[in-house]
Amino acid sequence: MNIRTILSLFCLFITFFTQAGDLYYAKVVKVDSNNVIHLLKGESIRAISLGYITTPVEGEVYHTEVNSLLNDTLLGNWVKITELSYGANAIVKPALVRTRDLELVNTLLLQKGLAIPNHKTSPPQAINTHAQKAREKSLGLWGELALFNHQRSEPTRSRIKIMMENYKASLEKAKLKGVEPYVGDSKTNIAYKLKCLMSISKPLMFATKYVALNKGYTLEVNKCPKNKS
């Protein structure tokens, strides 16, 4: 291994390290139609997205291929999550996702042309390098880039609304199975019923009310916060 390669790998490590937030292991319980990955972390439910990249969501070209790959690779399995600091205040946290074999799913999608870099997040050079190789071969999205960009021009707010509705629907399914999640407001230490999800700016999901109580939260079962906290 020559000195240039060593320096490149070192720079890549430093870039990921300095932009990393929480690091933990969790079990994937669902991958929804917008490629949001739902995790069971301890006794809490958490939603993450694939950091540094953009993937096609429902209704967009190559969505089926992406969603199938994520379900086949992740669903029901334990994964290693590195949340990224640029999404510290997001409800759905951007993250690096590694399988039990430590394969990085973010770059796997790039290699297959099933994702493109999200340049607004200032991705590290490794992300751009994988994307460039796929682009040179016109793999996946790179062969349909005009169509994908046209589909992406749909209002962002509509896509976010759909994503949040899917997240809420996932939690509702858990409720039907006898597990009723609660939504915690970290500012007030009050936990509300699931219907209050959209009324809290930084919700913390608890698998049950007992988990919320154990974390020191007070339960409010009759109403939601009047103003978005």
Q: What is the CATH number of the domain that holds 86?
A: 2.40.50.90
| AA letter at 18 | T
Domain boundary, last residue among 157, 190, 211: 157
**Do 115 and 150 reside in the same domain of the chain?**
yes
**Do 48 and 128 reside in the same domain of the chain?**
yes
**Do 24 and 67 reside in the same domain of the chain?**
yes
**Do 213 and 147 reside in the same domain of the chain?**
no
**Do 103 and 136 reside in the same domain of the chain?**
yes
**Do 194 and 145 reside in the same domain of the chain?**
no
Alpha-carbon gap, residue 5 to 3, rounded angstroms: 5
Is residue 166 situated within a structural domain?
no
Give how far Cα 111 sits from Cα of 44, 70, 114, 137, Å. 32, 14, 8, 10
Which of these, 173, 188, 113, lies nearest to 143 by C-alpha position?
113
pLDDT by residue for the chain (229 residues), tens only, comes to 555 544 444 455 545 544 556 899 999 999 998 899 999 988 788 899 999 999 998 889 999 999 999 999 999 999 999 999 998 878 889 999 999 999 999 999 999 999 999 999 999 999 999 999 999 999 999 999 999 988 887 655 455 555 566 666 666 665 555 567 888 998 899 999 888 887 887 788 887 888 889 889 999 989 998 866 5
pTM of the model: 0.66
Domain extent for 224 = 180-229
**Do 129 and 207 reside in the same domain of the chain?**
no
Chain centroid, CA 78 distance in Å: 15
**Do 143 and 192 reside in the same domain of the chain?**
no
DSSP-derived letter for residue 49 is E
How deeply is 65 buried, as exposed, middle or buried, from its count of CB atoms within 10 A (0-12, 13-18, 19+)? Answer: middle
Our count of domains for the chain comes to 2
**Do 87 and 193 reside in the same domain of the chain?**
no
Is residue 163 situated within a structural domain?
no
